[in-house]
Amino acid sequence: MSTRFRPTTLTGHELELREQVRRFVAEEFPAGEYLPGLGINAEASPEFSRKLARQGWLGMVVPAEYGGPGRTAVERFVVVEELLVAGAPISAHWVGDRQTAPALLKFGSEEQKRRFLPAIIGGEAWFCLGMSEPGSGSDLASVRTSAVRTDGGWVLNGQKIWTSGAHYADFVVTLCRTAPLDGVKHAGLSQLIVDLRSPGIEVRPIMMLNGFHHFNEVFFTDVFVPDEMVLGAVGDGWHQVTSELAYERSGPDRFLTSFPLLRIFLALRARRAVGAEAEHRIGRLVARYWVLRQMSLSVARSLDAGEVPAVEAALVKDMGTTFEQQVVDVVRELADAEQRPGGDLFDRLLAEATITTPTFTLRGGTNEVLRQVAAKSLLRGAGRAA
């Protein structure tokens, strides 16, 4: 097996959509009047998310049958790319739009689709993901949170950590063990849609060094989850999660998070004479942005073709999040070398990026784990070819 990143470009229709989004962004965030955020680290603004909903830009892949616009993964890519470049406050709707809606379409019951998809599309319900646990890192198959059968549903007990947005989300899609561990860690896992207002749930904040609140610990103590809130089939959790990760790992959010910092830095130095070395370093960043963009866009095309490009998505996430950290390092070094007054906005974004960039290579699976995923797949393909 080899990875496949097919060359692709935006169609005329997709370019027209991009212009529509750019006009919307320019009106919402006038130059010099808006403090941009850094990707999904930007603030949660339900009000802004509902504005996107009114434009038809939430739940874009949801078909008309469930109240959605029935657009493509590439069209969603176009919208998301422009929002990330602007540093828009996207966190409130992010998980529901990126991951929960496609998962419901693929695995959800008819009742779940009718209930949740219109709420996601309309910006009326927020979701988060309960995957990582203390001590398990990116090894999702080792989760210990468990659900035991009871009359009419399940009793959930356990703990999740690094749960982004749990402090404002309505529901957490939780990976848990519904059958005893019996040799194969991947077996016996299921996904439950858990109402965060249920009795027995405690959400504790994990504060960043700058006081920013994005991550949380979530504790489940004898939480009742009705049968109709099982996502997909009982025991198929591992297959479902790995399928979803193609959406989580491959989008432009994996390489554009630190872009607003670079954009503001370039604006500050636009009229200053700079050395050849600085120009060379910036040029290399721009070239790598373009390569990663092409890789991510290729994955979106594959998703539209009904494929599950898990390895390609893992590579985008690995290379993209590593690059995002490198962007911050280069900008900091150039700013120091030029001894240039930064200004409040630049200094704030640089400080925030310095604190948050270490998390980029952890979310959605550590890069070390993703390299193992890619290597195992490539080795299996080489073995079959031999």
Q: Which residues does the annotation mark as catalytic?
A: 248
Q: Which two tokens stand for residue 343?
A: 């200004």
Contacts for 167 with CB less than 8 Å, ≥ 6 apart:
203, 205, 213, 216
Question: How many residues comprise the chain?
Answer: 386
Q: How far is it, in rounded angstroms, from Cα 372 to Cα 318?
A: 11
Spatial CA neighbour of 188 closest among 223, 225, 137, 142: 142
* Angle in degrees, CA 130, 83, 160, rounded to 5: 10
With residue 254 as reference, give the H or E element that holds it.
none
CB 173 within 8 A of CB 248: no
Element (H, E) at 63: none
Q: Are 256 and 85 in contact (CB under 8 A)?
A: yes
DSSP annotation string for 131-193 = ---TTTTT-GGG---EEEEETTEEEEEEEE-S-TTTTT-SEEEEEEE-S---S-TTTTEEEEE
Query: Pairing mode, if any, of strands 127-130 and 171-177?
Result: parallel
- Residue 144 to residues 8, 59, 101, 287, 322: CA-CA distances in angstroms? 42, 31, 26, 43, 30
